[in-house]
A = this chain, B = another copy of it.
Amino acid sequence: MGKLLIVGTVAFDEIETPFGKTDKILGGAATFIGLAASQYNVESGIVSIVGEDLPKAYLNVLKDKNIDLSSLEIVKGGKTFYWKGKYHNDLNSRDTLVTELNTLADFNPVVSEGFKDADVVMLGNLHPSVQLSVINQMEKRPKLIVLDTMNFWMDNALPELMEVIKHIDVLTINDEEARQLTNEYSLVKAAKAIQKMGPKYLVIKKGEHGALLFHEEKVFFAPALPLEEVFDPTGAGDTFAGGFAGYLAATSDLSFNNMKNAVIHGSNLASFCVERFGTERMEILKKEEVTKRLHQFKALTQFDIELQ
């Protein structure tokens, strides 16, 4: 069993989609990453910060999945990070209506002793300085460091972002962000440029259009499963990252071939995440359902052209 350290938000989300809306519900990058990784044989811990206003039941969702919360700070009298957003009709774009950083504004992450030797570190989308601080607290270089980020940090903390990505193995960003980071329109050229910045592996997430894995001259593509209904895309990218990192931590095989499998596993879990609001689907997801859908991924992509 591998040990996986997860860094990211544990948050209140309030979501409106064309299909309905929620009150404040459990959300946050670390939450989705942790739930996804819990599908695999890993010992996971979350580094995060919340306020006392976060219901105990929400933390129990994570504890019930055997996720260690000894690195999760609960600020007395503090308020938890809160995001409110509304998706457009195509579900591919959204407006952020409210962002309250609250306790996240002064987050100094502290990794508990038991996780300073984690095999895999999954740095969820957060300020790059927070991500770097976690790397620096590790007592030995983890076997694998994966970092997820977004255009917000490219716009507002680019020097810090460039610094932290020097120290990581895998970067996961979306196609527009890859273009922004490199000024290259071609994703193949962008991938080459990013590998020169530090990470030897790059995952470009294209939402409903799948994900690309780049390493040296190699490239692998995993489609998103075509779904009859996408209900709520919130957390799909984090779920992908959690499946990717969780699978790699559990299998302890960092070959390119196994990274391909990890991309498929991440895409597979993300296809469940979007079926219900927030974390609903991931909380009740069963191993048999995961395996069944992996068969669908095989059927979706595998072909038998005989080649000399």
Contact B221 A223 (CB under 8 A): yes
Q: Give a binary string over A275-308; 1 marks a CB under 8 Å from any B CB, 0 the rest.
A: 0000000000000000100110011111111011
Q: How far is the CA of A230 from the CA of B302 in the complex (A)?
A: 26
Task: Judge whether B189 and A221 touch: CB under 8 Å.
Answer: no
A-B contact pairs, 24 of them (CB 8 A): A89-B185, A90-B185, A186-B228, A186-B229, A188-B227, A189-B228, A209-B210, A210-B210, A210-B221, A210-B223, A219-B226, A219-B299, A220-B300, A220-B303, A257-B304, A260-B303, A261-B303, A261-B304, A265-B305, A294-B305, A294-B307, A298-B305, A301-B301, A302-B302
CB distance from A306 to the nearest CB of B (A): 9
Q: Is A206 an interface residue (CB 8 A)?
A: yes
- Shortest beta-carbon distance from A90 to chain B in Å: 7
In this assembly, does A245 line the interface, its C-beta being within 8 Å of a C-beta of chain B?
A: no
For the complex, give the distance between the alpha carbons of A304 and B265 in Å.
12
Smallest Cβ-Cβ distance to A186: which chain B residue: B228
**Chain A contact residues (Cβ within 8 angstroms of B): what range?**
35 or more
Cα distance A299–B305 when bound, in Å? 12
Once the chains are docked, how many angstroms separate the CA of A141 from the CA of B188?
45
- Pick the residue among B187, B261, B305 that contacts A261 (CB under 8 A): B305
A134 within 8 A of B: no
Interface check A270, CB cutoff 8 A? no
Contact A230 B307 (CB under 8 A): no
* Nearest-Cβ distance from residue A51 to partner chain B, whole angstroms: 38
- Of the residues B221, B261, B304, contact of A301 by C-beta under 8 Å: B221
Complexed CA–CA distance, A307 and B302 (Å): 14
